[in-house]
């Protein structure tokens, strides 16, 4: 049997990566052609996003990175933005 949910039930749902890192909370869904295209995830104080993004409010995660939705949303670790400081110096 197929379980369905209303998109409105997803708002403020906690989002975790498949490796167990707390990512943030669902803020909004982006719908195109009557299908969920992507999710806007809000960076909360304790989330990995707030550590990486600093002052930014969140990110948009394409729906194809979502692995499971239940009591929480599980996304692929590939959806995490990478941050690397430029360590090269100009001579």
One pLDDT digit (tens) per residue for the chain, 91 residues: 777 778 888 899 999 999 898 999 999 999 999 899 999 999 888 888 887 777 778 889 999 999 999 899 999 988 776 655 444 444 4
| Domains, in order of start, for the chain | 7-79 (2.30.30.240)
Locate tokens 């403020």: which residue?
12
Instruction: Tell me what pLDDT residue 63 has.
Output: 93
Q: The pTM is what?
A: 0.78
The candidate with the shortest Cα–Cα distance to 46, out of 76, 68, 15, is 15
Instruction: Tell me what pLDDT residue 85 has.
Output: 47
């Amino acid at each position: 049997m197929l379980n369905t949910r209303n998109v409105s039930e997803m708002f403020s749902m906690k989002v975790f990566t498949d490796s167990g890192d707390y990512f943030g909370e669902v803020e909004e869904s982006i719908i195109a052609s009557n299908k969920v295209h992507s999710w806007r995830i809000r960076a909360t104080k304790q989330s990995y996003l707030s550590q990486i993004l600093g002052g930014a409010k969140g990110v948009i995660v394409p729906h194809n990175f979502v692995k499971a939705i239940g009591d929480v949303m599980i996304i692929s670790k590939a959806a995490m933005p990478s941050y690397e400081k430029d360590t090269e110096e100009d001579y």
